[in-house]
């Protein structure tokens, strides 16, 4: 348990720093690379909680596909590679204020609601097996699964329609 | 492990993402910030799933990943379209909603 | 759990319930099939698909008749089983015998159509299957048939059938003739699905389908911008209310449904059983009221309904008078326990639902006065009558509301189709002032049926509108004029009476301008200048142009008026063909016969009508099972009946006197040149406010939508400056006009000060609001997140 908490702390710290860099760096390619760190950290947290299938999917889909998409996006929009002067708008302090207030409210609510409950307290610490996840997807949540596949199809067609040249 | 350590990490990522969405002028960077928000939600889902001992949290995390993939595809297409029409992806310049 | 109950219910009632009641799914299925056939094969058929639609609707209507008969016998059997009465059984057969002819048989079936029985076992029939399951929650598909549903099947079936027949002539030769009939079929299917839905998910699905069909049909002639604008407006306004519908239904799912079921009966039972918290019910009821406001055209989301007259007239009759717009009313009736308990209807004298209805009925009635477009008069009248229904539901007069829905469907459809027939004869214009007048000589059948509809709407005794309106007024229980009502809604009674008077007056105006006097079409500016026709109408309402489009010769390409282009050039009006007049006659007869479905008991005792003939509608339609709240029924009140009759007669008389005077001066005139609205500034100001529809459209498009809407960057900006300033200036100038009238009485400085201050105040408020609209999405997102944070903080700290 202690080892898990230590690893959690290390990963979380790296993630938060990287996330802050994602939203503050002036270099757009660096932002995408910092995003990779955050996404990998999230995958690591998944594995810490025993959700290894989701963790692997996270790496495959996000780091393998989404980040690549972002890099293509950066390339196609010919954003300057390297530092840009004006990547933030002048209302940034207001955005920071909103984010801080939001964080204060959320963390207060969370501490208030869950206090020191432990993840193991209900489930007994047994991780959910991947087979259980697949059972749930293909039994109880089959319809949302189909809906998601339909959504992906629609997004595929939509993206082509939006982005193609007339 | 406490439940709250995951939840507060999620909240922190969420707020960082919100800051990015609000403060960034570059369309692609806004989309990256949205990814942060979606990932923070996933952390919550998986943590609650582990807390309640049910696979449902993971199921919905997977759905969120699928939706996020679709969102990035369409979002980047829109950014490309904006770029093509205005040769800039500066969101401050895209103020057609101005009253 | 739901499925199990369904099976059980069928088993219990299988022996005494007719086939059509158990298999009600065929009702939406037939027109849905017809829609597919018309879309796929319609164009290749000799009649371009109309024949499929008419056949399908004939089958539906026939089935609805049988279902009605089966329902009546079902209720009677339930009565007999409980020994409540044998008389009713006899009475039913008696009425059927006496109403032998075809039209009357229809009425008899209508009587029977609805019902639910008190004291008896629940006689509703439900059929349900599991549709899909998500995470243990079953989403079922099924039908719920009770008196109310059977009544609606009859109404929708009959009116849709007649509208189909009417349309074959009216839109003859239209470019999208096949498309038109396909959507009529789809609309009918959606409406029937909505009527029969046994759970909220199906209900929402059908609700949205109905909205989509309405959108497609309003924008049928979408080549003209104002038609497609009207369609968009209808759709978007409805979306506003749909948010309320979704939130309300979700709230019901988690409270009354226990997070397990969407079944309407289960939810109603839970509510009647008192296991649901009052707060949750109130919240759900308030959210659902938003949906009613948009779908059923209640103040202040009614603005789409008059604009929806841009669609073909038969569509207006079917959708915007008789069926779709009553979906909101039907929803309230369906989930009545939620409203009855959530709003504390019983024993109270005020609630939101009644207030919304009461205001709507007044607003609709007053706006109908200033319209020069005959369809708009009828549209506002529809708004007003829908207000009556909602008000009735708000005061607990459930049966009265449903009865009014039933009668209103017939006479309003009759009036709308009549206006279509009239415009068919008058160069496809709907302008009463320029293109009509004296039509009684040229169109005797249309005239007679329109007169019946007018009288029914105005509340002439013996016609159905009188009885249903009177039942609503009695149901308010206001001013001590009636007994047995659920509460004492004095304000609502006064609103209802006032509207009764206004209805009589504006319908007299409408009737007189259309049918009395001399035909003005020959001198019509519309006939002579085409496009220039709008020039000099200084009394033109803001969108009174709406219906003009089709009389411009340039639009002959619509085809619907191409075939009679010969009389579009100054010929005298002519009676329409039989495919138009026959539906009118049937509807007029129904407007009369519907009376006999719910003769008040007390009244009939004066005339010696057997008791078994009275209150049939209440007997067969009103649910009496455990899923319906215990409501009490107001007695027929002779004093109230006489009072409302006198008010209506006085107002109609005043209108007639006015127009007689007008015509004694000039047979072609439509108003006194120097009338009160030109002489008295206050009256003029009031007129202008009405003409601008209380400036609601300015508020929506100018301030709210204008400030937030999208892709028309510079246009929007300019629009905003002009309209926003226009509203401010307009408001100030109206105040100034009013103030000018008071000039001699009130200190000029005080008035001016108030006017200037209010103008300046409005201007400042507008300026501040505009600054928020930076057009930058991130600014909006920032506001949204900030608001969410604040709200969440409040929830966390307070709750």
pTM: 0.72
For the ranges B30-39, C66-75, C381-390, C736-745, the lowest mean pLDDT is seen at C736-745
- Nearest C-alpha of chain C: how many angstroms from A101? 7
Q: Comparing C-alpha atoms, which of C488, A54, C66 is closest to residue B66?
A: A54
Q: Distance (Å, rounded) from C-alpha C501 to C-alpha A131? A: 72
A45 part of a folded domain: yes
Q: Distance (Å, rounded) from C-alpha C797 to C-alpha C103? A: 65
Query: Which run of H or E residues covers position C450?
Result: helix C444-458
Residues contacting residue C692 through CB under 8 Å, at least 6 positions apart: C541, C542, C698, C730
For the ranges B36-40, C38-42, C111-115, the lowest mean pLDDT is seen at C111-115
Highest mean pLDDT among B40-49, C309-318, C478-487, C520-529: B40-49
pLDDT of residue C598: 74
Q: Distance (Å, rounded) from C-alpha A5 to C-alpha B2? A: 9
Give alpha helix (H) positions in C670-776: 676-679, 681-691, 696-697, 706-708, 713-742, 748-772
Whether residue C442 contacts residue C573, with contact meaning beta carbons closer than 8 Å, is answered with yes
For the ranges C560-564, C638-642, C690-694, C795-799, the lowest mean pLDDT is seen at C560-564
- Average pLDDT score over residue span C539-560: 37
Contact C775 B22 (CB under 8 A): no
Searching chain C, which residue's CA lies closest to the CA of residue B22? Answer: C778
Whose tokens are 């006064």? That residue is C494
Residue of A90, A92, A93, A95 for testing the chain C interface, max C β-carbons within 10 Å? A95
pLDDT of residue C549: 37
Q: Distance (Å, rounded) from C-alpha C711 to C-alpha C493? A: 47
For the ranges B2-11, C95-104, C278-287, C748-757, the lowest mean pLDDT is seen at C95-104
Q: Comparing C-alpha atoms, which of C279, C244, C275, C236 is closest to residue C258?
A: C275
Whose tokens are 């009031």? That residue is C686
pLDDT of residue C524: 59
A118 part of a folded domain: no
pLDDT of residue C548: 39
Which tokens hold the place of C159?
A: 């009116």
Q: Distance (Å, rounded) from C-alpha C747 to C-alpha C754? A: 11
Furthest C-alpha separation in chain A: 59
Q: Distance (Å, rounded) from C-alpha C389 to C-alpha C293? A: 12
Contact C134 A141 (CB under 8 A): yes
Contact C770 B99 (CB under 8 A): yes
Q: Comparing C-alpha atoms, which of C196, C209, C206, C198 is closest to residue C139?
A: C198
Encode pLDDT of C257-289 as tens digits: 777 778 888 888 888 887 888 888 888 888 888
How many residues appear in chain A?
A: 166
Task: Verify that A10 and A69 share a domain, yes or no.
Answer: yes
Encode pLDDT of A52-107 as tens digits: 899 999 999 998 888 998 888 888 876 665 556 666 777 778 888 889 999 999 98
The helix/strand/coil state of C540 is coil
Which tokens hold the place of A105?
A: 């409210």
pLDDT of residue B14: 94
pLDDT of residue A18: 94
Whether residue C773 contacts residue C707, with contact meaning beta carbons closer than 8 Å, is answered with yes
Chain A contact present for C796, CB below 8 A: yes
Encode pLDDT of C135-157 as tens digits: 777 788 888 888 888 888 888 88
Whose tokens are 């909240």? That residue is B11
Q: Comparing C-alpha atoms, which of C692, C704, C753 is closest to residue C540?
A: C692
A124 part of a folded domain: no
Highest mean pLDDT among A52-61, C94-103, C638-647: A52-61
- Nearest C-alpha of chain C: how many angstroms from B1? 25
Whether residue C606 contacts residue C316, with contact meaning beta carbons closer than 8 Å, is answered with no
- Asked: is B2-86 a CATH 1.10.287.3510 domain? The reply is yes
Report chain C's mean pLDDT, rounded to a whole number.
73
Torsion of CA C522, C528, C533, C539, to 10 degrees: -30
pLDDT of residue B13: 94
Contact C776 B91 (CB under 8 A): yes
Residues contacting residue B3 through CB under 8 Å, at least 6 positions apart: A114, A117, A118, A119, B47, B48, B51
Q: Distance (Å, rounded) from C-alpha C485 to C-alpha C346? A: 9
Residues contacting residue C459 through CB under 8 Å, at least 6 positions apart: C465, C466, C469, C470, C500, C503, C504, C644, C645, C648
Encode pLDDT of A148-163 as tens digits: 999 999 998 988 888 7
Torsion of CA A59, A64, A70, A71, to 10 degrees: 130
The helix/strand/coil state of C373 is strand
- Nearest C-alpha of chain A: how many angstroms from B94? 13
Contact A5 B5 (CB under 8 A): yes
Q: Comparing C-alpha atoms, which of C68, C39, C73 is closest to residue C56?
A: C39
> In this structure, how many other beta carbons lie within 10 angstroms of the beta carbon of residue C35?
26
Q: Distance (Å, rounded) from C-alpha C123 to C-alpha C77? A: 10
Q: Distance (Å, rounded) from C-alpha C398 to C-alpha C390? A: 9
A2 part of a folded domain: yes
Q: Distance (Å, rounded) from C-alpha C87 to C-alpha C80? A: 9
pLDDT of residue C669: 66
Encode pLDDT of C168-210 as tens digits: 888 777 777 888 888 888 999 999 999 888 888 889 989 999 8
Domain carrying residue A166: 131-166
Query: Which run of H or E residues covers position C144?
Result: strand C137-145
All residues of chain B having their beta carbon less than 8 Å from the beta carbon of residue A122 are 51-53
> In this structure, how many other beta carbons lie within 10 angstroms of the beta carbon of residue C710?
10
Chain C contact present for A96, CB below 8 A: no
Higher pLDDT, C729 or A103: A103
- Average pLDDT score over residue span C98-111: 36
Domain boundary among the residues A54, A83, A112 is at: A83
Q: Comparing C-alpha atoms, which of C495, C335, C322 is closest to residue C414?
A: C322
The domain that holds A49 is classified in CATH as 1.20.120.1200
A78 part of a folded domain: yes
Report chain A's mean pLDDT, rounded to a whole number.
85
Whose tokens are 């690591």? That residue is A44
pLDDT of residue C270: 84
Taking 90 as the threshold, does the pLDDT of residue A20 lie above it? yes
Highest mean pLDDT among C151-165, C297-311, C622-636, C727-741: C151-165
Contact A95 B23 (CB under 8 A): yes
Q: Comparing C-alpha atoms, which of C359, C234, C352, C252 is closest to residue C294?
A: C234
The number of angstroms, rounded, from the C-alpha of C94 to the middle of its chain's C-alpha atoms is 34
pLDDT band at C576 (very low <50, low <70, confident <90, very high): confident
Task: Verify that A66 and A9 share a domain, yes or no.
Answer: yes
pLDDT of residue B41: 94
pLDDT band at C712 (very low <50, low <70, confident <90, very high): very low
How many residues appear in chain C?
A: 799
Q: Which residues numbered 124-143 in A keep a CB inside 8 Å of some CB on B?
A: 124, 126-129, 132-133, 135-137, 140-141
Give alpha helix (H) positions in C255-302: 264-272, 278-295
Task: Verify that A74 and A136 share a domain, yes or no.
Answer: no
For chain A, give the percent of residues with pLDDT over 70.
89
Q: Distance (Å, rounded) from C-alpha C390 to C-alpha C582? A: 32
Encode pLDDT of C231-260 as tens digits: 888 888 888 888 888 888 888 888 887 777
Whether residue C644 contacts residue C469, with contact meaning beta carbons closer than 8 Å, is answered with yes
Higher pLDDT, C599 or C782: C782
A138 part of a folded domain: yes
- Nearest C-alpha of chain C: how many angstroms from B96? 5
- Nearest C-alpha of chain C: how many angstroms from B22? 5
Chain A contact present for C785, CB below 8 A: yes
Residue of C132, C141, C794, C796 for testing the chain A interface, max A β-carbons within 10 Å? C796
Encode pLDDT of C347-376 as tens digits: 777 888 888 888 888 888 888 877 778 888
Q: Distance (Å, rounded) from C-alpha C365 to C-alpha C416? A: 17
Contact B14 A102 (CB under 8 A): yes
What angle (nearest 5°) sits at the alpha carbon of residue C451, between those of residues C445 and C455? 155
For chain C, give the percent of residues with pLDDT over 90.
1
pLDDT of residue C440: 74
Contact A91 C136 (CB under 8 A): no
| CA distances for A65 relative to A62, B69, B72, C201, angstroms | 5, 8, 10, 36
Q: Distance (Å, rounded) from C-alpha C201 to C-alpha C178? A: 31
Highest mean pLDDT among A69-73, C510-514, C697-701: A69-73
What angle (nearest 5°) sits at the alpha carbon of residue C767, between those of residues C765 and C768? 65
C130 prior amide bond cis, ω within 30? no
Helix C398-425 crosses helix C464-476 at what angle (to 10 degrees)?
140
Chain C contact present for B85, CB below 8 A: no
Residue A164 DSSP one-character state: S
pLDDT of residue C756: 62
A120 part of a folded domain: no
Q: Which chains touch B (3 or more CB pairs under 8 A)?
A: A, C
Contact B73 A155 (CB under 8 A): yes
Residues contacting residue C11 through CB under 8 Å, at least 6 positions apart: none
Whether residue C667 contacts residue C522, with contact meaning beta carbons closer than 8 Å, is answered with no
Whether residue C325 contacts residue C386, with contact meaning beta carbons closer than 8 Å, is answered with yes
pLDDT of residue C109: 38
Domain boundaries in chain B?
2-86
- Nearest C-alpha of chain A: how many angstroms from B66? 7
Report strand pairing: C125-134 vs C137-145: antiparallel
Which tokens hold the place of C693?
A: 């529809």
- Which DSSP string do the residues of C40-73 spell out, in sequence order? HHGGGSTTTTHHHHHHHHHHHHHHHHHHHHHHHH
């Amino acid at each position: 348990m202690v080892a898990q908490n230590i690893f959690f702390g290390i990963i979380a710290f790296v993630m938060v720093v990287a996330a802050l860099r994602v939203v503050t760096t002036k270099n757009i390619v660096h932002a995408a690379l910092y995003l990779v760190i955050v996404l990998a950290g999230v995958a690591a947290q998944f594995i810490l909680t025993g959700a290894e299938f989701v963790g692997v999917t996270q790496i495959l889909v996000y780091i393998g596909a989404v980040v690549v998409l972002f890099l293509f996006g950066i390339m196609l929009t010919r954003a300057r590679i390297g530092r840009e002067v004006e990547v933030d708008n002048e209302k940034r302090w207001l955005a920071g204020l909103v984010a801080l207030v939001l964080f204060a409210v959320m963390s207060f609510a969370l501490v208030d609601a869950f206090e020191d409950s432990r993840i193991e307290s209900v489930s007994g610490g047994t991780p959910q097996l991947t087979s259980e996840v697949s059972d749930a997807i293909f039994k109880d949540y089959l319809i949302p699964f189909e809906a998601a596949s339909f959504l992906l199809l629609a997004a595929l067609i939509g993206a082509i329609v939006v982005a193609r040249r007339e | 492990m406490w439940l709250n350590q995951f939840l507060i990490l999620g909240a922190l990522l969420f707020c960082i993402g919100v800051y990015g969405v609000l403060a960034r002028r570059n369309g692609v960077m806004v989309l990256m910030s949205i990814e942060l928000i979606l990932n923070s939600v996933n952390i919550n889902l998986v943590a609650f799933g582990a807390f309640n001992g049910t696979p449902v949290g993971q199921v919905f995390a997977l759905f969120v990943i699928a939706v996020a993939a679709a969102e990035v595809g369409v979002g980047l297409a829109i950014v490309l379209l904006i770029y093509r029409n205005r040769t800039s992806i500066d969101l401050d310049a895209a103020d057609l909603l101005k009253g | 759990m739901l499925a199990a109950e369904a099976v059980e219910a069928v088993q219990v009632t299988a022996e005494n319930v007719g086939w059509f009641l158990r298999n009600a799914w065929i009702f939406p299925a037939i027109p849905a099939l017809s829609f597919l056939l018309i879309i796929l094969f319609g164009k290749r058929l000799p009649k371009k698909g109309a024949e499929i639609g008419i056949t399908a609707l004939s089958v539906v209507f026939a089935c609805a008749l049988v279902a009605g008969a089966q329902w009546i016998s079902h209720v009677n059997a339930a009565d007999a089983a409980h020994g409540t009465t044998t008389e009713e059984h006899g009475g039913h057969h008696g009425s059927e015998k006496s109403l032998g002819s075809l039209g009357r048989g229809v009425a008899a079936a209508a009587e029977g159509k609805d019902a639910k029985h008190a004291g008896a076992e629940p006689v509703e029939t439900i059929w349900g299957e599991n549709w899909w399951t998500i995470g243990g929650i079953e989403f079922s598909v099924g039908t719920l048939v009770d008196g109310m549903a059977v009544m609606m099947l009859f109404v929708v079936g009959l009116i849709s059938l007649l509208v189909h027949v009417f349309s074959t002539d009216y839109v003859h030769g239209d470019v999208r003739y096949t498309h038109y009939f396909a959507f009529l079929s789809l609309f009918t299917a959606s409406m029937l699905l909505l009527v029969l839905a046994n759970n909220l998910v199906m209900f929402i699905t059908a609700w949205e389908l109905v909205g989509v069909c309405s959108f497609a049909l309003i924008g049928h002639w979408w080549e003209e911008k104002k038609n497609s604008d009207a369609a968009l407006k209808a759709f978007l306004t409805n979306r506003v209310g749909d948010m309320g519908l979704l939130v309300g239904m979700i709230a019901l799912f988690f409270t009354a449904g226990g997070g397990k079921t969407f079944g309407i009966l289960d939810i109603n039972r839970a509510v009647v059983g008192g296991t649901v918290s009052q707060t949750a019910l109130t919240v759900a009821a308030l959210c659902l009221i938003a949906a009613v406001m948009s779908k059923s055209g209640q103040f202040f989301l009614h603005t789409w309904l008059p604009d929806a007259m841009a669609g073909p007239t038969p569509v207006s009759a079917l959708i915007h008078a008789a069926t779709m717009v009553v979906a909101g009313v039907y929803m309230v009736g369906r989930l009545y326990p939620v409203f009855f308990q959530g709003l504390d209807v019983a024993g109270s004298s005020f609630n939101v639902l009644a207030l919304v209805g009461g205001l709507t009925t007044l607003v609709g009635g007053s706006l109908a006065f200033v319209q020069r477009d005959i369809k708009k008069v009828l549209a506002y009248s529809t708004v007003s009558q829908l207000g009556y229904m909602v008000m009735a539901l708000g005061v607990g007069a459930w049966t009265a509301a449903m009865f009014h829905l039933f009668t209103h469907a017939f006479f309003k459809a009759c009036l709308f189709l009549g206006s279509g027939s009239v415009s068919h004869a008058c160069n496809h214009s709907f302008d009463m002032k320029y293109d009509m007048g004296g039509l009684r000589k040229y169109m005797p059948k249309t005239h007679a049926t329109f007169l019946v509809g007018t009288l029914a709407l105005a509340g002439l005794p013996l016609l159905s509108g009188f009885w249903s309106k009177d039942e609503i007024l009695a149901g308010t229980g206001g001013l001590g004029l009636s007994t047995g009502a659920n509460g004492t809604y004095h304000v609502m009674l006064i609103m209802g009476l006032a509207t009764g008077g206004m209805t009589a007056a504006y319908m007299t105006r409408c009737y007189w301008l259309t049918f009395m006097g001399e035909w003005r079409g020959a001198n019509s500016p519309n006939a002579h200048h085409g496009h220039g026709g709008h020039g000099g109408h200084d009394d033109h309402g803001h969108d009174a142009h709406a219906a003009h489009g089709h009389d411009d010769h340039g639009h002959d390409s619509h085809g619907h008026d191409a075939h009679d282009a010969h009389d579009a050039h100054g010929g005298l009006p002519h009676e329409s063909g039989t495919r138009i007049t026959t539906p009118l006659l049937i509807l007029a007869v129904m407007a009369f016969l519907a009376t006999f479905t719910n003769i008040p008991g007390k009244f009939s005792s004066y005339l010696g009508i057997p008791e078994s003939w009275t209150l049939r509608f209440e007997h067969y339609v009103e649910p009496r099972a455990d899923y319906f709240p215990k409501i009490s029924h107001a007695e027929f009140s002779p004093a109230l009946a006489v009072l409302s009759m006198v008010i209506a007669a006085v107002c109609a008389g005043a209108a007639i006197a006015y127009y007689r005077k007008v015509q004694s001066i000039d047979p072609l005139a439509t108003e006194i040149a120097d009338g009160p609205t030109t002489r008295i500034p206050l009256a003029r100001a009031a007129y202008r406010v009405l003409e601008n529809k209380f400036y609601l459209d300015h508020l929506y498009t100018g301030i709210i939508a204008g400030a937030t809407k999208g892709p028309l960057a510079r246009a929007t900006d300019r629009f905003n400056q002009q309209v926003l300033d226009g509203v401010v200036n307009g408001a100030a100038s109206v105040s100034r006009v009013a103030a000018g009238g008071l000039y001699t009485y009130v200190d000029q400085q005080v008035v001016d000060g108030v006017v200037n201050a209010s103008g300046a105040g409005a201007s400042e408020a507008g300026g501040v609001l505009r600054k928020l609209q930076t057009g930058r999405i991130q600014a909006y997102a920032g506001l949204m997140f900030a608001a969410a944070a604040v709200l969440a903080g409040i929830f966390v700290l307070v709750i």
